[in-house]
Amino acid sequence: MSTATTVAPTRVEPAYRGFEVRVARTRRLSPSFLRMTFTGPDLADFGTAGLDQRIKLVLPAACGAPVDVARFTDPDWFSAWRQLPDEQRNPLRTYTVRAVRPYEHEVDVDVVLHGVDPGAVTTRGCGLAQLIGCACAAPAGPAVRWC
């Protein structure tokens, strides 16, 4: 006689998730190079994957609407973002993380200033303390699904 064993399903967390962050400070490294320090309580859970860790910054939309961070905390945020009309879709820009300080709730990113494109965050009104979004690596665990 055989006995069937039932295994409870494990909730699989996405490898990336949204973080609500604000610009805490900026430091000009050169005329076209800026170090931005982001802060937010969620950054205590920021996953540190090592060298060459990339994040996506979610910038204010061209229509002037602020970033709806709740939209970027859902595990399926990228699909939802792609379905938005162009004028409502917040620009995403990929950057490499320069430094992570989870105990201080801070992440540094170095940004090249190109002028008027959406990635030139300082010219798009992302001043100090403005809320933006950040899609970053979540802490890796046994039940992480890489998307």
- Pairing type for strands 92-101 and 33-39 reads unpaired
C-alpha 89/C-alpha 108 separation (Å) is 25
What confidence category does residue 142 fall into, taking pLDDT thresholds of 50, 70 and 90? very low
Pairwise pLDDT comparison (93 vs 139), residue with the higher score: 93
More confident residue, 14 or 95: 95
Q: Which residues does 127 contact at the CB level (< 8 Å), separation at least 6?
A: 23
Domains in the chain and their CATH numbers?
Answer: 13-138 (2.40.30.10)
Give the tens place of pLDDT for each residue, 21-46: 888 888 999 988 889 998 988 888 77
